[in-house]
Amino acid sequence: MVDLPPEIWLRIAHFLPSPTLLGLYTVNGFFLDLAMNERYRVVKFDKLTRSPSNLLARLREPSIARRVLKVTFDPAFIYQRSQQDRAQQNSRISKLIRLVAHRTELGADGKPEKVLPSPSEIEDTLRACIPLMTNVRDFGLEWFPILENIPTPCLDTWLFSLADNLVELRLLVPATTSPRLFLAPPNFPRLRRCSITIFCSRYSEDYRQLETHQIILASFLNSFTDTLQHLALCYCPMRDLSVLFDRLEMCKSLSSLEIDVSLYHHFDNWNPIPASAFIQRNALTLRDLQISTSLPIGPTSTYQFTFNNLQLSNLRSLSISAEVMAHSWEATLSFLETHSSHLESLTVDGPIAPAEVKNLLTSINHTNPCCTLSRLSISIYQLDLKLFTMLAEALTRLQSLRLQISKISSPSKYAVTPSEFFPVERRSLEEKVYPFVDEMHGSYVLKHWDLRDITIERHSCCGKLTLWGLMRLSATCIPSITSFAENGDMVIPEPSNTPPSSERLGVACSGTSLTCSFGRDGILYS
């Protein structure tokens, strides 16, 4: 249907009866309401926010503010942005641009407004808007260390105004400001999910001060243990968190836990028990456990965690760093073997060698009729038929497989880096097919595997590249596959791969510059 100018629709309306027009108004109002809900469902206040005064002016209307369900606040929205804008205001080019633009932009009411409101004006307006956002369920604070010395920006207003309805709380704060945040918090009667990342100085802080901070944080977390279902904890870089884990109480409903267990360096009084003991205290409710590391193991680093004597009877999903697995290999394999009767999903984060994959499959495999593993995610440097065969023979009932690779290989050929659509059809009959392709087609074991979903990825320049070509090849060789990338179908999206945005990366490489090779590295033809 061709869109008509509003004038023609207005003319047509003169010939329609009033009841018909009322029905149309109702439909239009319904879709307008849906559009407004979607527009203001998620609001982010940061230095990239366009026209902050316009946004705040709209949020001062209660009918708009009530539509906000998720908020992320960065103090740079008030302070750093103003400094950057005023620096740009003094540049010669900016003066010319403002001269053309008459130094104004449209406000919420259609009238010109000042381009550069002061920090105090923004903060005052924000304080007036926050109490009107009565339906916010998810609040995130992104307070980066570069702004750790600024005054507490509306923090009390945010927390005390939203606390009653908050379901999820995301905090990213410097260590020096964390006591101000956690010392006298409001009550969170409905909080279910909490994620806390604390930035520390790379130089060693006073141990007593760190211990005091952990005691305050533990008291904060213990204030909502009755409702908490998901907890994620991380110090960056990591510190000894024995005091924190030792003081954390049992959570009545904690089903998901994410912790970073690496250490910046060895401590003489370090004890690996508290982190594992906290996990064991929540064994009856814990279903999803993620053990990550931010530092590779080395002569100056270690891990404050062990699988020894850990019994989690309801665990369904485990994600573990390959570094932790290598650090305590025997304990990890013993834990997996003990929990294979109820573990449904296993993710190994980080590359592991083929020999380690073989050892892993000796502890958890489907030759054991009680093994319930249905989803596996691993990272391996070179993918070959031998690995596929090993997985197919050991995990006959596997439903979903995710592989992170770097190259594909064959015993009779050098390893190659595949592009996203490798292998495509040969351009001529004279061209030779890479041996891996024929090996896959000739595998009897793969044809009788009951795998349903497959995802194959590799790192490319500044992001992950989904290898749709290898996934299509796998589906040809494994007839039971009906889904790619856990989408429920085998449709390849358009675009097939999108480079990460420069805003999310925080670096210049955005996938559009001449220096970026995202998706362009690797061979296309087989």
Residue 187 included in any domain: no
Determine the pLDDT at residue 220: 95
Contacts of 514 (CB under 8 A, 6+ apart): none
- Widest distance between CA atoms in the chain: 87
Res 482: pLDDT: 97
Q: Would you state the pLDDT for residue 15?
A: 67
pLDDT band at 106 (very low <50, low <70, confident <90, very high): very low
**Of residues 456, 500, 459, 450, the one with CA closest to residue 478:** 450
| 35 falls within a domain | no
pLDDT band, very low/low/confident/very high, at 103 (cuts 50, 70, 90): very low
pLDDT at 46: 83
Tally of domains in the chain: 1
Q: Is the pLDDT of residue 475 over 60?
A: yes
Reported residue count of the chain is: 526
Q: Is the pLDDT of residue 49 over 50?
A: yes
In the predicted structure, residue 163 carries a pLDDT above the cut 50:
yes
Residue 460 has pLDDT above 80, yes or no: yes
Provide the 8-state DSSP code for 206.
Answer: P
Residue type at position 66: R
Q: What is the DSSP letter of 434?
A: P
Q: Is residue 119 part of a domain?
A: no
Domain with 522 in it: 401-526
* Amino acid 153: pLDDT: 64
**Model confidence at 127: pLDDT above 80:** yes
Going by C-beta distance under 8 Å and a sequence separation of 6 or more, which residues neighbour residue 187?
163, 223, 224
For the cut 70, the answer to whether the pLDDT of residue 108 exceeds it is no
Most trustworthy range by pLDDT among 95-109, 152-166, 224-238, 290-304: 224-238
Arithmetic mean of pLDDT over the chain: 83
pTM of the model: 0.84
> Which of the four pLDDT bands, split at 50, 70 and 90, describes residue 152?
low
The answer as to whether 424 is a domain residue is yes
Contact yes or no for 300/265 (Cβ under 8 A):
yes
pLDDT band at 1 (very low <50, low <70, confident <90, very high): very low
Do the beta carbons of residue 123 and residue 153 sit within 8 Å?
yes
Residue 487 domain-assigned (yes or no): yes
Share of the chain above pLDDT 70, in %: 77
Q: How confident is the model at residue 177 (pLDDT cuts 50, 70, 90)?
A: confident
User: What three-state secondary structure class fits 158?
Assistant: helix
pLDDT of residue 89: 47
pLDDT at 336: 96
Looking at 55-59, 118-122, 145-149, 152-156, which range is the least confident one? 145-149
| Cα-based torsion angle of the residue sequence 510, 514, 515, 520 in order, rounded to the nearest 10 degrees | 80
* Contact call for residues 318 and 345 (beta carbons, < 8 A): yes
- C-alpha span between 158 and 152 (Å, rounded): 11
pLDDT higher than threshold 50 for residue 104: no
Q: What is the pLDDT at residue 135?
A: 96
pLDDT on residue 297: 63
Domain-embedded: residue 473 = yes
Residue 412 — pLDDT band, cuts 50, 70, 90? confident
The CA–CA distances, whole Å, from 13 to 10, 20, 450 equal: 5, 9, 60
Spatial separation of the C-alpha atoms in residues 320 and 335, rounded to whole Å? 12
pLDDT, position 134? 94
pLDDT at 453: 98
Question: Over 90: is that where the pLDDT of 26 sits?
Answer: no
| Three state DSSP letters for 52-104 | HHHHHHHHCCHHHHCCCCEEEECHHHCCHHHHHHHHHHCCHHHHHHHHHCCCE
Q: Residues 466, 470, 476, 480: what is their CA dihedral angle, to the nearest 10 degrees?
A: -50
- Residue 335, pLDDT score: 96
Backbone angles phi, psi at 412, to 5 degrees: -100, 10
Helices (H), 90-224: 92-100, 119-129, 155-162, 178-182, 207-222
d(CA 479, CA 475): 6
Residue 481 lies in a domain: yes
**Residue range 290-302, pLDDT digits in tens:** 999 887 666 556 7
Quote the pLDDT of residue 21.
62
> Is 408 contained in some domain?
yes
Q: What is the dihedral of CA 327, 351, 237, 222, to 10 degrees?
A: -70
- What is the pLDDT confidence band of residue 53, given thresholds at 50, 70 and 90? confident
Buried b (16+ CB within 10 A) or exposed e, 464-489: ebbbbbbbbbbbebbeebebbbeeee
Beta bridge partners of 458: 405, 465
Residue of 466, 454, 455 whose CA lies nearest to 499: 466
Q: Indicate if the pLDDT at residue 223 is higher than 50.
A: yes
Task: Taking residues 72-80, report their average pLDDT.
Answer: 81
Work out the angle between the directed axes of helices 385-394 and 354-363 (0-180°, nearest 10).
Answer: 10
Position with higher pLDDT, 494 vs 289: 289
Give the mean pLDDT of 168-189.
88
What digits encode the pLDDT tens for the residues 300-334?
567 788 898 899 999 999 999 998 888 888 999 99
Question: What residues does 196 pair with on adjacent strands?
Answer: 171, 233
pLDDT band, residue 337 (cuts 50/70/90): very high
